[in-house]
Amino acid sequence: MDRDQALTAFSALAHPDRLDLIKLLVRQGPEGLAAGQIGAALGGMTASRLSFHLAALEGARLIMSRKAARNVIYTVKAEAMGGLLSFLMHDCCDHDPRIMACCTVQGAAGTDRT
């Protein structure tokens, strides 16, 4: 992932609704969810508001959609999310061991989150 792609992705994630949307879709895995199911799961978000957020995430190439009968199913692009994390950890943080330690299971368990 290059710098411009990362900035677009970070910008798309910098909204509470879109961050919640990504978290929801990550939990769904490759099966994804239909737009109506996403709206319901996110507290009854209106169709126009949901469409706006889905378009921003698709534009940032973090999610993709596919037609299934009369529904549009949305899924997270795992490789894009991984690329974004890799960009942050390796390109921005320059493999700093203090930062990298938080990403291991052992390091994350000992992280103080206060």
Domain that holds residue 7: 3-109
Question: Per residue in 42-77, pLDDT tens?
Answer: 998 899 999 999 999 999 999 999 999 999 999 999
What pLDDT shows up at residue 108?
A: 47
Residue 92 is assigned to a structural domain of this protein:
yes
What pLDDT shows up at residue 104?
A: 66
pLDDT at residue 87 greater than cutoff 90: no
Residue 95 is assigned to a structural domain of this protein:
yes
Cβ density class 17-55: b for 16+ within 10 Å, e for less? ebebbbebbeebeeebbbbeebbebeeebeeeebeebbe
pLDDT at residue 36 greater than cutoff 80: yes
What pLDDT shows up at residue 114?
A: 37
Residue 21 is assigned to a structural domain of this protein:
yes
- Region 91-113: mean pLDDT is 65
pLDDT at residue 113 greater than cutoff 60: no
Count of the separate structural domains present in the chain: 1
Domain of 87, CATH number, reads 1.10.10.10
10: amino acid identity, one letter? F
Residue 114 is assigned to a structural domain of this protein:
no
Residue 80 is assigned to a structural domain of this protein:
yes
Single pTM value for the model: 0.81
CA distance 95 to 2: 17
What pLDDT shows up at residue 17?
A: 95
The token pair at 22 is 């990504």
